[in-house]
Amino acid sequence: MPELVFFSGTMDCGKSTLALQIEHNRSARGLVGMIFTRNDRAGEGKLSSRLGLVTDAVEVGEHADLYAHLVDHLSQGRRADYVIADEAQFLAPEQIDQLARVVDDLDLDVYAFGITTDFRSKLFPGSQRLVELADRVEVLQVEALCWCGARATHNARTVGGVMVVEGAQVVVGDVTGSPDEVGYEVLCRRHHRRRMTASTARAAALSPDVLPVSSA
């Protein structure tokens, strides 16, 4: 039976690497995939991993109908044996419903990859819909670590190195080197709650203003 599978995890947990691995294994067996992505770090129409692998993908627009896209593709006599949707947290809930319909009505496996929660530890709408609809949810256990060494379970957004908890849900990190550069960092829950990123922890350790707590 074809399945809708949601591979979820934090940032840096190896989702895109696994997506590329699935794509590689299936194309080695002569299968053809339809690969969707949105806001990949390598730019429009790319699926890339931090390990430097990259493949072409269909960039999904905000209002794109993924089911209609596949029906159209297949009706032109072109092949699609399975579907990969990377950065699925950025898809609209309706687009996740369209992926479920691809499984049920077109009999294709759909592998969706996404970050579960945003920088405020709230579910992304696309991820929420995947949790609701998926036949299986696989939580990726690649060990992403907080700066303290604990397992990183939460995503933090930083602006100029300082963790923020307000702002738009989707802001793609930049690499401009400007002082208000938006970045992301994975943290354990404890340090996410305390808003302690690697750089604030380092600054606190070096600062003469931070005195050891007296037990007196």
Residue 172 marked as a ligand binder:
yes
Active-site entry in 3, 44, 87, 166 = 87
Compare residues 109 and 185 and give the one whose CB is closer to Zn ion.
Answer: 185
- Smaller CB separation from Zn ion, 38 or 191: 191
- Consult the annotation and say whether 102 binds a ligand: no
**Is 87 an annotated catalytic residue?**
yes
Site map 148..187 versus Zn ion, x via CB under 5 A: x-x-------------------------------------
Ligand-binding annotation for 188, yes or no, is no
CA distance 128 to 121: 12
Residue 44 tokens, joined: 């429009």
Of the two residues 150 and 204, which places its CB atom closer to Zn ion in the complex?
A: 150
Please give the size of the binding site for Zn ion, defined by CB under 5 A: 5
Name which of 50, 60, 102 is nearest 80 in CA terms.
102
Kind plus residue range of the DSSP H or E element containing 156? strand 154-159
Q: Are the CB atoms for 95 and 128 separated by under 8 Å?
A: no
- Out of 13, 58, 96, 188, the only residue in the binding site for Zn ion (CB under 5 A) is 188
> Of 48, 40, 51, 43, which is closest to residue 89 (Cα–Cα)?
40
210 in contact with Zn ion (CB under 5 A): no
Distance CA 137, CA 112 (A): 10
Stretch that binds Zn ion, among 42-50, 141-149, 156-164, 168-176 (CB under 5 A): 141-149
End-to-end CA distance of the chain: 67
Would you say 46 is a known binding-site residue?
no
Task: Centre a 10 Å sphere on the Cβ of residue 99 and count the other Cβ atoms it contains.
Answer: 28
Q: 196 in the Ramachandran plot: left (φ > 0), alpha (ψ -120 to 50) or beta?
A: beta
Q: Which of 134, 146, 156, 163 binds Zn ion (CB under 5 A)?
A: 146
Residues that bind Zn ion (CB under 5 A): 146, 148, 150, 188, 191
**Residues identified as active-site:** 87
